[in-house]
Amino acid sequence: MSWVLGLALPFQAGAADYSTYNDYADVGLLQTPTARVADAGEFGVGLGVVDPYRQFQLSLQLFNRLETSFHYSEVTDVLYGPESFSGHQSYKDRSFDVKYLLAHEGSWTPSLAVGVMDLGGTGIYSSEYFVANKQLGDFDFSLGLGWGRLGARGGIKNPFRAISSHFDDRDLISESGSTGAKRLFTGQEIGVFGGVRWQTPIQSLSVIAELDGNDFKHEARGNEQKVDSPVNFGIAWRPNPYIDAHLGYERGNTIAARITLRTNFNRDLGPPKFLDKPMPRAVEAQPVSAPHDEVDRQASDASASPSSDITTSGGMPLPRDGAVWDAARAGCHEQGNDLEATLRKALASQGVALQGLGCANDGTTLIVWFTQGRYRSEADGLGRIARVLAQQAPAHFTAFRLSEIFLGFETYRVTVPRLAAEQLLTDQASPQDVQDQIQVDAPHLDWNWEDCCNTGRYPAYSWFSAPALRQHVGGPDGFYFYQIWWKLGGTIALNPHWNVSGQVGANIYNNFDGLKQPSNSVLPHVRSDIVKYLDQGKNNLVRLETNYFFPVADSLYGRVSAGLFEEMYGGVTGELLYRPFQSPWAVSARVAHLWQRDYDQRFDFLDYEVTTGFITGYYEYRPARMLFQLSYGRYLAKDWGATLNIGKTFRSGVTVGAFATKTNVSSADFGEGSFDKGIYIAIPLDFFVAKSTRRYLPLVFRPLTRDGGQMARDGQSLYGATTTLPEFSANDPYILH
């Protein structure tokens, strides 16, 4: 949505912007990088052509100093392999670049950066460099030293050779998928590169000239390119923050062109949610009256103690039996069902489902158990609930305790003084003003959903229907295969703990008939027969599973699941998760016995079965909104190893991450790629639409589909099921909006 709107927006920049991308999706000039970086959260997706290279590019500024980029390249004048294997398909390659800003520019000192190109790839773009930049008026100068391809013109002895003979020689091509660490800063000679960018009087236009450090005589696979001049020229055009394009003349004989669409995951938060129901206003207030003598009240004050910080405590469990509890519960419900019916209707209009009502044992605190699947921000949902209660709850309730129920778990308790809710309702206070009046407490096991919740609500049903895209990128049969299909799914919640869900798919159009090459893996074909699943499962039963969630002890959660978990596997699973409330760390253990499904993805299975198991540690580094996951265990091919998964969430809710798995399978047995790895992005759908939703669009890119280090989806994970626990201090400055 931001990109679309941006096409019509003028660029509101006051100063020159030197963060345009080069031919490799790195901030730079044309062929060369610079020591400039984009703002944290900047994301770009683009296409570039510099014959014989064509690239699909992704770029992401993870942090203020750390830049990353990924490009999928086609080399049009090199074949993928022997014609008997891949026909006339051109060569494809994947590469990953990283740049770190060592120093910002000062009054007299330049900015300085170090970078690595083609990290973990085959090495056709392999380079390392140091580069400096200094701005003088409308001119921005860069000068750098390049190793590998970027310094192939040579002329300077590699200074690292004085340290060790290890740096004397450089491999031109590495084994696909290796890290390439042994190649870093090696080679007999290094080269100089640099350039200048002139910011023209036209704010959106700049002119570029650069000296390329690559002579193109040592291109990978013997693909030398003719060079008539080492100086490249071009123009960069950035009419607004969402478009970045350049046109150049490189090598003295070749036209270069690139266009990138940009957004910023910290700045661009999606369109205003004008399709949401407006927040409750004071003019709508119609409190429901109730006789005070119907409620057994205590003399104690139920409001939370003010605190300059958010209070997190264990709290006191509500008794589930005894005269006091019975009287208090009766007091809530004997107001007729008027209160419950009124609140149910009012909350439903705000996208919140009332699960049940209760009272604290002093009778002055109204307890509301609820679920909400609309607002990604817990603060949005809680703010709406508090306002509704300030409108509708009887006047003798002086505080509201809000507890979200998710998959049978009470996930938190937030106590809001009525006065604070009324101040929000009447706009007499802001979320910041009431922040220190609100108390956050840990959930408890001492609640019984049959006592407090609306048992008549179950079984509850939900369903979805939408078009979808299935893709297969790269391989000897062709570059891109896809299927447009329709997915239909639903969930039956038998009670808060137990659900049954499923999904079917119907083919609309595909080109999978072109997939011919069988797997050549020497390992059990746990994933590499994906071609058969795509071809024979065009109309399929995607999954059909049941999940049962249950609390075991404080902070300890359990799950058992069974069914057809995904297109390729079904079975049974058990999992335990220990996750202390609002703690940055957690640990889980899960074991699954799985059977491989038949290629047509109905109810039949193949002969292969396996028991997998993993211990996983989780750590949230909240200042940077990062999640680290490290898993160790047994994988689908019966290999043992570990998976590291690192993800970062931006202010917009977009999560970007990467994963890598290394097991006891040798690189030779694993095959091309050496080890399993990939990148992913999860985009909240309300990033594009004007209505709140908790749904995400997940996109995963694996360079290759091999059999080593493969996990199976085995039901709803407990960590995902408990992510509704509000980490207010990390993800939102306020508890209520």
Q: Which whole number is the average pLDDT over 203-219?
A: 93
State the pLDDT confidence band at 729, using cuts at 50, 70 and 90.
Answer: very low
Instruction: Report whether pLDDT(10) > 80.
Output: no
SS3 category, 267 = coil
Q: Which whole number is the average pLDDT over 707-731?
A: 75
Distance CA 383, CA 391 (A): 13
Q: 2-264 has which CATH code?
A: 2.40.160.40
Distance CA 489, CA 650 (A): 29
Q: Which whole number is the average pLDDT over 499-523?
A: 88
Q: What is the pTM of this model?
A: 0.85
Distance CA 431, CA 737 (A): 6
Say which CATH architecture domain 460-728 belongs to. Beta Barrel (2.40)
State the pLDDT confidence band at 83, using cuts at 50, 70 and 90.
Answer: confident
Give the sign of the dihedral formed by CA 280, CA 285, CA 286, CA 289.
positive
Instruction: Report whether pLDDT(643) > 90.
Output: yes
480-513 in b/e form (b: 16+ CB < 10 A) is: ebebebebebeebbebbbbbbbbbbbeeeebebe
pLDDT for residue 328: 41
Provide CB contacts within 8 A for 471, sequence distance 6+: 480, 481, 482, 483
- Cis bond leading into 459, ω under 30°? yes
Instruction: Report whether pLDDT(336) > 60.
Output: no
pLDDT for residue 177: 54
Instruction: Report whether pLDDT(63) > 50.
Output: yes
pLDDT for residue 472: 76
State the pLDDT confidence band at 106, using cuts at 50, 70 and 90.
Answer: very high
Q: Which whole number is the average pLDDT over 441-445?
A: 80
pLDDT for residue 450: 63
Q: What is the DSSP letter of 283?
A: G
Rounded to the nearest integer, the mean pLDDT of the chain is 84
Residue (of 48, 62, 72, 40) closest to 678 by Cα position: 72
Q: What percent of the chain has pLDDT over 70?
A: 85
pLDDT for residue 144: 96
β partners of residue 191: 146
β partners of residue 209: 196, 233
Residue (of 643, 641, 592) closest to 613 by Cα position: 592
Where do we find the tokens 């997998």? 612
Instruction: Report whether pLDDT(57) > 60.
Output: yes
The region of weakest confidence among 316-320, 394-398, 570-574 is 316-320
Instruction: Locate all alpha helices (DSSP H) within 197-306, ordered by sequence.
Output: none
Pairing of strands 439-441, 311-313: parallel
- Residue 333 φ then ψ, to 5°: -95, -20
**H helices then E strands: how many in the chain?**
12, 33
Question: Can you list the positions of beta strands (E) in 265-385?
Answer: 311-313, 353-359, 365-371
Give the residue, 608 or 18, on which the prediction is more confident.
608
pLDDT for residue 265: 94
| Alpha-carbon distance values, 710 to 99, 150, 301, 472, 597 (Å) | 30, 36, 56, 17, 15
Instruction: Report whether pLDDT(442) > 80.
Output: yes
Give the sign of the dihedral formed by CA 20, CA 25, CA 26, CA 28.
negative
Q: Which whole number is the average pLDDT over 475-502?
A: 88
- Residue 302 φ then ψ, to 5°: -90, -5
Give the residue, 512 or 597, on which the prediction is more confident.
597
Where do we find the tokens 């003003």? 433
pLDDT for residue 324: 34
Joined tokens for residue 663: 């097991």
pLDDT for residue 270: 85
State the pLDDT confidence band at 4, using cuts at 50, 70 and 90.
Answer: very low
Joined tokens for residue 316: 């006191």
State the pLDDT confidence band at 361, using cuts at 50, 70 and 90.
Answer: low
Q: Which whole number is the average pLDDT over 96-117?
A: 96
Q: Which whole number is the average pLDDT over 127-143?
A: 96
| Alpha-carbon distance values, 647 to 36, 238, 395, 626 (Å) | 24, 30, 46, 6
- Nearest-5° Cα angle at 306, 304 to 307: 120
pLDDT for residue 451: 60
Domain ranges of the chain: 2-264, 282-457, 460-728
Q: Which whole number is the average pLDDT over 35-52?
A: 95
Joined tokens for residue 453: 């919740």
State the pLDDT confidence band at 728, using cuts at 50, 70 and 90.
Answer: very low
The region of weakest confidence among 65-74, 157-166, 259-268, 689-698 is 689-698
The region of weakest confidence among 43-52, 102-111, 448-457, 668-677 is 448-457
State the pLDDT confidence band at 389, using cuts at 50, 70 and 90.
Answer: very high
pLDDT for residue 323: 35
Residue (of 81, 89, 51, 57) closest to 70 by Cα position: 57
Instruction: Report whether pLDDT(226) > 80.
Output: yes
Give the residue, 520 or 44, on which the prediction is more confident.
44
Instruction: Report whether pLDDT(306) > 70.
Output: no
Instruction: Report whether pLDDT(143) > 70.
Output: yes
The region of weakest confidence among 141-150, 278-287, 316-325, 578-587 is 316-325
The region of weakest confidence among 402-406, 541-545, 614-618 is 402-406
SS3 category, 583 = coil
- The amino acid sitting at 625 is R
State the pLDDT confidence band at 315, using cuts at 50, 70 and 90.
Answer: very low
Joined tokens for residue 23: 């031919």
CB 350, CB 385: distance < 8 Å: yes
Joined tokens for residue 25: 């999706």
State the pLDDT confidence band at 359, using cuts at 50, 70 and 90.
Answer: confident
State the pLDDT confidence band at 179, using cuts at 50, 70 and 90.
Answer: low
pLDDT for residue 301: 30
The region of weakest confidence among 105-114, 394-403, 559-568, 612-621 is 394-403
Q: Which whole number is the average pLDDT over 258-283?
A: 86
Where do we find the tokens 């104690």? 300
> How many other β-carbons are positioned within 10 Å of the β-carbon of residue 535?
18
SS3 category, 80 = coil
Instruction: Report whether pLDDT(582) > 60.
Output: yes
Which range of 307-316, 378-387, 428-437 scores highest in mean pLDDT? It is: 378-387
Instruction: Locate all alpha helices (DSSP H) within 349-496, ordered by sequence.
Output: 378-392, 418-425, 431-434, 449-452
Provide CB contacts within 8 A for 195, sequence distance 6+: 29, 30, 32, 34, 141, 142, 208, 209, 210, 211, 232
| pLDDT tens-digit series, residues 532-559 | 998 899 999 999 999 999 989 989 999 9
Joined tokens for residue 255: 């036209």
Distance CA 99, CA 460 (A): 51
SS3 category, 312 = strand
710-734 in b/e form (b: 16+ CB < 10 A) is: bbbebbbbbbebbebbbebebbbeb
Same fold, 2-264 and 460-728: yes
Joined tokens for residue 254: 């070749």
pLDDT for residue 515: 77
| Alpha-carbon distance values, 541 to 181, 441, 471, 488 (Å) | 44, 42, 18, 10
